[in-house]
Amino acid sequence: MTSPLLLGCIADDFTGATDLANNLVRAGMRVVQTIGVPPEPVAGVDAVVVALKSRTIPAPEAVAQSLHALTWLREQGCRQFYFKVCSTFDSTPLGNIGPVAEALMDALGAAICCVTPAFPENARTVYKGYLFVGDVLLSESGMRNHPLTPMTDASLVRVMQAQSRGKVGLVEHKVVRGGAAPIHARIRQLQDEGHRFAVVDALDNEDLMHLGRAIADMPLVVAGSGVAIGLPQNHGIRPSFAAAELPPAQGARAVVSGSCSEATNRQVNDFIGRGLPALAIDPFEIAAGRDVVGQALAWAAPLLGEQPVLVYSSAPPEAVRGVQERLGAGDAGAMVERALAAIALGLVERGVGQLVVAGGETSGAAVQALGVRQLRIGPQIDPGVPWCHARAEACGRSVHLALKSGNFGTADFFTKAFR
């Protein structure tokens, strides 16, 4: 007998989905992450996270995609739903958090829902409805200059109100620290007063555990990945190693890196400094029409097996600027992503069974090239980056994947991951 699916999650971007899945696994749930709505059903897990790419698309499209995911999750038997948004609440007065949340609530018949991006372990806290990133208000953090979703107001009540039809209220920390019962009572009070959203303060994991218990009977929560730690307890689920268990790792080990973040450049240098085999990909060679993919695979093939190999386009900021000035940032990015994704697929076809991919966009491209539709989430390597196990439909093989977004991971990540 398979156990019922307890939690259905819709994430507005890919690495955010993994972050949420990782937190659920750490709290004891068995989790599958899907890339969009998959054609096949999911079974044998406690929660499913559907990864969309809906954070910055037009609001009506984000609503349509999210409702499609909700319909599928209900068909799978999920009873409670989680709309995962960014822990910096990335959005504009046009959405997409408000419009998507209201559409999901209407579909579920939910009278009120909680909203909190708090993730204290990651230094995101909410106090009196104001979101702090580390020691500063959201509006004083780097997010104020974000190219697509500049966050210039730290008041989540105001930000949420600007993009919602329903009224937005606040559950203050003095209520939250009192525990689940007062939180529940306050939410119902807000509902009676005509509110549709309750922004909830949270400063530490204990607050999130209280909140988790308080919302056990609510069909929808809108949150960052933090709230996830408080939900498994409602089903008698406790943290366990079993939740993170994957089939044994097999095959050669490789790293493909297209992230140019500071952290990734450190990781590339650390790998090379250990004397391990590494090959740099030159964007100008790709632009000149050379068979960079074929060359990289020919280089890697005889090396596979003994030790991990690294293929990277990662470069320091000056070099990236040089490439972008000559090739255009968008074109260069897309071209490099395509090449690295083809290399990832070629490596798996040649026997790589354990693959680390560095870079959010690069990971998206690699997963697409591999034909991965579902990822079973395993143990965490570093905060926010778990090992996953997936079927690569493009080549009919199973593979262990670690998809690392740019800034994550310690300097030795590319070797530590394989230990």
332 Cβ contact list (under 8 Å, min separation 6): 283, 287, 323, 324
Residues 405 and 283: their CA atoms lie apart, in Å, by 21
Residue nearest ligand ADP, CB atom distance: 406
Q: Is 265 in the site for ligand ADP (CB under 6 A)?
A: no
Residues 112 and 241: their CA atoms lie apart, in Å, by 35
Nearest one of 100, 95, 124 to 9, comparing CA atoms: 100
Q: Is 232 in the site for ligand ADP (CB under 6 A)?
A: no
Q: Is 260 in the site for ligand ADP (CB under 6 A)?
A: yes
Please report how close the Cβ of residue 286 comes to ligand ADP at its closest, in angstroms.
Answer: 10
State which residue, 48 or 320, has the beta carbon closest to ligand ADP: 320
Q: Is 366 in the site for ligand ADP (CB under 6 A)?
A: no
Q: Is 258 in the site for ligand ADP (CB under 6 A)?
A: yes
State which residue, 40 or 318, has the beta carbon closest to ligand ADP: 318
Residues 179 and 263: their CA atoms lie apart, in Å, by 38
State which residue, 28 or 409, has the beta carbon closest to ligand ADP: 409
**The binder of ligand ADP chosen from 361, 367, 385, 417 (CB under 6 A):** 361
203 Cβ contact list (under 8 Å, min separation 6): 118, 120, 125, 126, 127, 173
Backbone angles phi, psi at 51, to 5 degrees: -90, 120
Please report how close the Cβ of residue 224 comes to ligand ADP at its closest, in angstroms.
Answer: 18
Question: Which residues on neighbouring strands pair with residue 11, listed in sequence order?
Answer: 51, 84
Q: Is 362 in the site for ligand ADP (CB under 6 A)?
A: yes
Radius of gyration in angstroms for the set of CA atoms belonging to the chain, rounded to a whole number: 22
State which residue, 192 or 325, has the beta carbon closest to ligand ADP: 325
Q: Is 259 in the site for ligand ADP (CB under 6 A)?
A: yes
Please report how close the Cβ of residue 293 comes to ligand ADP at its closest, in angstroms.
Answer: 14
Q: Is 164 in the site for ligand ADP (CB under 6 A)?
A: no
Return the structure tokens found at 292.
């960079």
Please name the residue that has the structure tokens 């590494």.
278
Please report how close the Cβ of residue 225 comes to ligand ADP at its closest, in angstroms.
Answer: 17
Q: Is 315 in the site for ligand ADP (CB under 6 A)?
A: yes
CA angle 374, 45, 387 (to 5 degrees): 50
Backbone angles phi, psi at 216, to 5 degrees: -55, -30
Please report how close the Cβ of residue 188 comes to ligand ADP at its closest, in angstroms.
Answer: 41
**Interaction residues for ligand ADP, span 323-352 (CB under 6 A):** 323-324, 332-333, 336-337
**The binder of ligand ADP chosen from 159, 175, 215, 320 (CB under 6 A):** 320
144 Cβ contact list (under 8 Å, min separation 6): 138, 150, 151, 152
Give the binding-site size for ligand ADP (rule: CB under 6 A): 22
* DSSP-derived secondary structure letter, 310: E
Return the structure tokens found at 363.
């990971």
Q: Is 42 in the site for ligand ADP (CB under 6 A)?
A: no
Q: What dihedral angle (degrees, nearest 10) is formed by the CA atoms of 251, 267, 412, 390?
A: -30
**The binder of ligand ADP chosen from 66, 80, 164, 261 (CB under 6 A):** 261
Please name the residue that has the structure tokens 């090959």.
279
Of 28-36, 66-74, 194-202, 316-324: span binding ligand ADP (CB under 6 A): 316-324
Q: Is 378 in the site for ligand ADP (CB under 6 A)?
A: no
Q: Is 403 in the site for ligand ADP (CB under 6 A)?
A: no
Of 210-218, 245-253, 257-265, 411-419: span binding ligand ADP (CB under 6 A): 257-265
Residues 88 and 146: their CA atoms lie apart, in Å, by 11
**Biggest alpha carbon–alpha carbon distance for the chain:** 69
Q: Is the dihedral of CA 187, 61, 162, 149 positive or negative?
A: positive
Please report how close the Cβ of residue 281 comes to ligand ADP at its closest, in angstroms.
Answer: 8
Residues 214 and 234: their CA atoms lie apart, in Å, by 9
Q: Is 409 in the site for ligand ADP (CB under 6 A)?
A: no
Q: Is 131 in the site for ligand ADP (CB under 6 A)?
A: no
Query: Under the rule (CB under 6 A), what is the footprint of ligand ADP?
Result: 258-261, 264, 283, 313-315, 320, 323-324, 332-333, 336-337, 359-362, 405-406
